[in-house]
């Protein structure tokens, strides 16, 4: 199977570079984008390449930076301007592929697997982008070229500014395995310290550790670290036009009085699910995992989840599943103060396989969307679900 071709484009010293592009008289001066230079509490947000030579650090106080470089020019940030430059960058990237995934305002991944041949190959695309950004925007980018997102990102970090670095399937270990583990996006200081305690200091060290050991220490994150550092990274580059699915849709409430009976709990559950499912249908989503959190009158909380064998956005389906889950762990003699329901494992409804009981499933779907239509036209109170009609629900 052919490797993917992924680019990671990182605008060098983005804020400061934009300021220099818009004010050419600042190009040859040490410059920092910062807070108010009149206040000693202001900090450095970004700096240009000249300022970096004075060892000025992002996040340090302006007065500290001025001690290192008395001639440092400080300017206020202009986020609206940076947003416009970011969109111009993305427009350049989109001329090569529709698969452009932003990672912050100044970084993007590009998947050019299906389009590189149109422009002469990956390295030619990368260098053409680099030259176009300089000519059209007056700033520079560093670009990593690789077979996956992780090593494309590492490639853009290896040479700065205004450079292209190739990390192929054959060279990535040689060029990156001596790098510190903090080079991997997502490994923060706390995780780095935990790995250091296991004598893991470099990417190469991490690659040598048995995956089972990392899983036992870090769970799913351990498996992801192990696989990605060894080159098994199949994370897709998302299109700028694709709306990212939410992780979950949830709703919760604290009742105006403590409840305990199954009937009262069912009324709250239906009330919450009615709102959750309406929001899911509005976004054309279905879910396959339910979570329930209950807080008792002593403020003790319990949380349980269950995966379903189907996707749904129907109150009728979820009501019985949620009640079954609650029955499995809750004693109704104990009073409840607050309830929260969450539906996750989301997918677009039009991509969900139809139920085997298709006729029944379609009847429920038509009913749900008819309710939504009537509520949108005549108001939310035009239809209420019978189970949610208890008096204490109206005040929730």
Tokens of 290: 């339910």
Of 57, 30, 24, give the one whose Cα is nearest residue 43: 57
**Which residues are paired to 44 by β-bridges?**
34
From 19, 107, 116, 264, active-site residue: 107
Q: Residue 272 and residue 243: Cα distance in Å, rounded?
A: 25
Q: Where do we find the tokens 């050419």?
A: 24
| Maximal CA-CA distance, the chain | 76
Active site residue 334: no
Of 233, 186, 179, give the one whose Cα is nearest residue 206: 179
Q: Residue 134 and residue 141: Cα distance in Å, rounded?
A: 8
Q: Among positive and negative, which fits the CA dihedral 349, 354, 359, 360? A: negative
Q: Residue 296 and residue 302: Cα distance in Å, rounded?
A: 9
**Which residues are paired to 10 by β-bridges?**
107, 142
Of 8, 17, 277, 394, give the one whose Cα is nearest residue 165: 8
Q: Residue 199 and residue 34: Cα distance in Å, rounded?
A: 38
Q: Which residues are catalytic?
A: 107
């Amino acid at each position: 199977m052919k490797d993917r071709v992924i680019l990671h484009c990182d605008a060098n010293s983005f804020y400061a570079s934009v300021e220099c592009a818009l004010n050419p008289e600042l190009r040859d001066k040490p410059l920092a984008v910062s807070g108010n230079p009149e206040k000693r509490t202001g900090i450095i947000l970004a700096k240009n390449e000249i300022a970096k030579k004075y060892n000025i650090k992002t996040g340090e106080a302006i007065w500290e930076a001025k001690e290192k470089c008395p001639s440092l020019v400080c300017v206020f940030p202009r986020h609206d301007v940076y947003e416009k430059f970011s969109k111009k960058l993305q427009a350049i990237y989109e001329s090569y592929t529709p698969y452009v995934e932003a990672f912050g305002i100044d970084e993007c991944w590009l998947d050019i697997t299906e389009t590189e041949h149109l422009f002469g190959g990956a390295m030619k695309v990368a260098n053409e982008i680099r030259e176009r950004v300089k000519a059209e925007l007056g700033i520079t980018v560093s670009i990593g070229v690789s077979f996956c997102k992780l090593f494309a990102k590492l490639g853009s970090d290896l040479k700065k500014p205004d450079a292209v670095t190739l990390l192929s399937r054959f060279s990535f270990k040689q060029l990156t395995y001596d790098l510190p583990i903090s080079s991997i996006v997502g490994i923060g200081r706390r995780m780095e310290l935990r790995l250091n305690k296991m004598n893991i200091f470099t990417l190469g060290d991490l690659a040598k550790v048995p995956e089972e050991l990392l899983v036992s220490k870090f769970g799913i994150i351990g498996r992801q670290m192990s696989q990605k550092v060894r080159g098994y990274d199949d994370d897709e580059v998302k299109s700028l036009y694709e709306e990212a699915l939410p992780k979950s849709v949830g709703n919760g409430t604290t009742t105006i009085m403590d409840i305990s009976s199954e009937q009262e709990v069912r009324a709250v559950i239906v009330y919450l699910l009615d709102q959750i499912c309406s929001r899911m249908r509005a976004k054309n989503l279905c879910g396959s995992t339910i979570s329930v959190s209950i807080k008792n009158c002593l403020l003790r909380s319990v949380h349980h989840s269950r995966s379903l064998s189907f996707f749904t956005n129907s109150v009728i389906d979820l009501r019985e599943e949620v009640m079954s889950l609650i029955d499995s762990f809750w004693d109704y003699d104990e009073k409840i103060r607050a309830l929260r329901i969450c539906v996750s494992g989301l997918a677009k409804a039009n991509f969900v396989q139809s139920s085997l009981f298709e006729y029944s499933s379609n009847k429920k779907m038509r009913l749900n969307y008819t309710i939504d239509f009537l509520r949108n036209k005549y108001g939310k109170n035009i239809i209420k679900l019978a189970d949610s009609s208890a008096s204490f629900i109206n005040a929730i």
